[in-house]
Amino acid sequence: MPAATPFRGAGRYAPSPSGDLHLGNLRTALLAWVLARRSGRAFHLRVEDLDRVREGAEQRQLEDLAALGLDWDGEVVRQSERGEAFTAAIGVLEAQGRVFECYCTRREILEAPSAPHAPPGAYPGTCRDLSPAAREQGRGRMRELRREPALRLRAEVPSWQVRDRWAGEVTGTVDDLVLRRGDGVVAYNLAVVVDDAAAGVDQVVRADDLLSSAPRQAHLAHLLGLPEPGYAHVPLAVSTAGARLAKRDGAVTLRDRLERGESAAAVVERIGRSLGLEGCRSARDVLERWDPATLPRHPWTVDLPG
């Protein structure tokens, strides 16, 4: 009989291997690690490689996280190797009658009139209730375009509520979200729900630009009979211009800073200062000293010399 795990749940960090992690990414990873370790949870690393992948980026990201003092439990999971699990989840929703084919192009969705109060570009429900003849016409059109129809969730509630560690109760729209794209790639919202549940993740720490996605993901977990995780969204890192931090803002990655003579310990110290801490030179220092109740609720403005 296997030995009982010493962990109580799990946290995770899930980067996309499209390039090197910038300081905002590293800060979020550090906070996810601290919150998991402090609460006795396991900490898992998942590579979300279903979309754009830059050669060598995954290994560089793992090396950068380790350089800051982060460790993780178990093997690194790659979403590209999880196809069977995603297909099975779609099958569960199909058995519930909650999946429909969508034959719209992205341009058609953007140009279609939206429902009242819906954000620009929201799916207008074009293919939700087509007749059998119209569906067959749509399939024929897809064959001409040499692509498969997208699969969408037939949402039956307008909204769902989640609780975030810092934002409190958050109610968000539940829409007919894409489950599998027309190119056959499973959509992010489904993949993240299935993968978190499979890894026992009950604490999702990520940047707050994804907070609006939490209600629809929690609802999807509910439909799949999976546990809903707790959420903890942290403020984004932004440039001095107030825009989301990006490579174009200069020397914003760990490797950039190392090339300019800054050590990994100094980068941790910089992140620590963004949390109101002085003199933190390792992830362990932040773990021992940071009080989550003091997390600044405003974006972290990254002002870097050189």
**In sequence order, which residues have a C-beta less than 8 Å from that of residue 116 and are 6 or more positions away?**
none
**Residue 221 lies inside a defined structural domain of this protein:** yes
Model confidence over 170-218: pLDDT tens digits? 999 999 999 999 999 999 999 999 999 999 999 999 999 999 999 999 9
Among 191, 210, 237, the domain-final residue is 191
The contacts found for 171-174 with CB under 8 angstroms, 24 or more apart, are 171/215, 172/212, 172/213, 172/214, 172/215, 172/216, 173/212, 173/215, 173/216, 174/215, 174/216, 174/219
Task: Give the confidence band of 306 by pLDDT, cuts at 50, 70, 90.
Answer: low
Write down the pTM of the prediction.
0.93
Q: Are residues 277 and 206 in the same domain?
A: yes
Report in angstroms the alpha-carbon separations of 279 from 252, 253, 268: 21, 21, 9
**Residue 212 lies inside a defined structural domain of this protein:** yes
- What domain range includes position 178? 84-191
Question: Which helix (H) or strand (E) is 162 found in, with range?
Answer: strand 159-164
Q: What is the mean pLDDT of the chain?
A: 93
Among 174, 191, 208, the domain-final residue is 191
Q: Are residues 135 and 232 in the same domain?
A: no
Q: Is the pLDDT of residue 303 over 90?
A: no
List residues forming the annotated binding site for ATP.
247
List residues forming the annotated binding site.
12-16, 48, 102, 104, 123, 127, 188, 206, 247
Q: Is the pLDDT of residue 10 over 70?
A: yes
Decide: 12 and 204 in contact? Cβ < 8 Å: yes
CATH code at position 185: 3.90.800.10
List residues forming the annotated binding site for Zn(2+).
102, 104, 123, 127
- Which of 5-14, 28-37, 51-60, 239-248: highest mean pLDDT? 28-37
Residues in the chain: 306
Among 191, 210, 239, the domain-final residue is 191
Q: What is the pLDDT of residue 2?
A: 39
Question: Which helix (H) or strand (E) is 289 found in, with range?
Answer: helix 283-289
List residues forming the annotated binding site for L-glutamate.
12-16, 48, 188, 206
Cα angle 111, 115, 118 (rounded to 5 degrees) comes to 90
Model confidence over 138-167: pLDDT tens digits? 999 999 988 899 999 999 999 999 999 999
Q: Are residues 41 and 183 in the same domain?
A: no
Q: Are residues 179 and 262 in the same domain?
A: no
CATH code at position 261: 3.40.50.620
Q: Are residues 60 and 95 in the same domain?
A: no
**Residue 93 lies inside a defined structural domain of this protein:** yes
Q: Name the percent of the chain lying above pLDDT 70.
A: 95
